[in-house]
Amino acid sequence: MTVLLSSYITERQHIVNKSLTSFVEQTNIPTTLKESMLYSLEAGGKRIRPVLMMASCESFGGDYNSVMTVALALEMIHTYSLIHDDLPAMDDDNFRRGKPTNHRKFDEATAILAGDGLLTLSFKAIASDPQLSAEQKSFLVRELAQASGPEGMVGGQILDLQAEHMETALHELEQIHRLKTGQLIKFAIISGAYIGGANKEQLQALESFADYTGLIFQVQDDILDVSGDEQLLGKPIGSDETNFKSTFPKLLGLSGAIEQKQMYVQKAKAALHSAGLENSLLDELTDYLSNRDY
């Protein structure tokens, strides 16, 4: 990773962290619920989705500040999905990013409500953003709800649960991850470009890039779960196997998964080229996502 990209990411992460806290602080939410929402928001994620959204916006000449509220909304939805995924009835995880999961720190009822609260607040954030026109707000709410709802991420989550203990084919695994992880990453890229001023053709060309980027992200996640550094990841290695998850390394072996990822990277870069964005920030971010170690 270049020094320039590294400092770009760190700076953007910092801005997102500050903005998330200040956004939620300003709301009128009962104390325990607000604490629980902030606890998970402030647990120090990589902010990959907001960073991708900003980079996508900037690649089309937009100002990253113009996507800030939408980026916060997306990160709130990502965070809610982690809180609910960690619940005893789902993956039953005790730690995330080196800290107790929300229901371990608070209790299950609070964690369920904190998730519900973050999900709902994200739509209010977009619909209240004075920087966006009414047209933009309806487009973004529709696309975000589509990406994160039962036809998107929530649908992917149930398919993922159903695939536990099952043999899955590569195309089934890809379909699960297109929904479960891919849809939010796609929304980050497409909405950033949309707000940044991309035209219809450019948005269409980005669809394929966004699709492969989601898959790259997920394969790397699976690879890190078998060969990553527990300290860096903030969670135990091997949790996918313990949870009988369908993963790329399980299906293809570790070296097969790495090859598969490299194929996705090539395809993502080709799509970026078609969109006229070779050598852009998005190009550099693709390598970063593919090679990240946490």
**4, 142, 169, 244: which one contacts a second copy (CB under 8 A)?**
142
**Alpha helices of the chain — where are they, by DSSP H?**
3-25, 31-41, 48-59, 68-86, 102-105, 108-128, 134-148, 153-163, 170-177, 183-196, 200-227, 230-233, 239-242, 248-252, 254-274, 281-291
Query: Closest Cα to residue 177, out of 230, 242, 248, 253?
Result: 248
Least spacing, CB of residue 3 vs a second copy, in Å? 40
Using CB under 8 A as the binding rule, the residues of this chain from 143 to 172 that contact a second copy are 145-146, 148-151, 154-155, 157-159, 161-162
Distance, C-alpha 221 to centroid of its chain: 12
Q: How far apart are CA 256 and CA 82, in angstroms?
A: 28
Instruction: Pick one of 117, 182, 196, 228: the residue that binds a second copy (CB under 8 A).
Output: 117
Name the residue among 55, 81, 101 with its Cα closest to residue 196: 55
Does the footprint of a second copy cover residue 38 (CB under 8 A)?
no
Using the contact rule CB under 8 A, the part of the chain among 27-35, 52-60, 223-231, 265-273 near a second copy is: 27-35
- Which of 115, 192, 196, 228 binds a second copy (CB under 8 A)? It is 115
Contact residue for a second copy among 33, 226, 251, 254 (CB under 8 A): 33
Q: Within its chain, how far is the Cα of 263 from the centroid?
A: 21
Residue number with CB closer to a second copy (66 or 110): 110
Phi and psi of 101, rounded to 5°? -65, 165
Contact call for residue 254 and a second copy (CB under 8 A)? no
CB-wise, 118 or 223, nearer to a second copy? 118
State which residue, 55 or 121, has the beta carbon closest to a second copy: 121
How many angstroms separate the first and last alpha carbons of the chain?
Answer: 14
- Please report whether residue 107 would count as binding a second copy according to CB under 8 A: yes
SS3 at position 95: strand
Q: 60 phi and psi, to 5 degrees?
A: -105, 20
| Cα–Cα distance for residue pair 27/34, rounded to 1 Å | 9
Q: Is residue 101 a contact residue for a second copy (CB under 8 A)?
A: no
Choose one: 41-49, 60-68, 126-134, 281-289; the region binding a second copy (CB under 8 A).
126-134
Tell me the closest approach of the beta carbon of residue 221 to a second copy, in angstroms: 20
Contact 248, 219 (CB under 8 A): yes
Write out the residues near a second copy by the rule CB under 8 A.
Answer: 27-30, 32-34, 37, 80, 84, 87, 89-90, 107-110, 112-113, 115-121, 123-124, 126-128, 133-135, 137-139, 141-142, 145-146, 148-151, 154-155, 157-159, 161-162
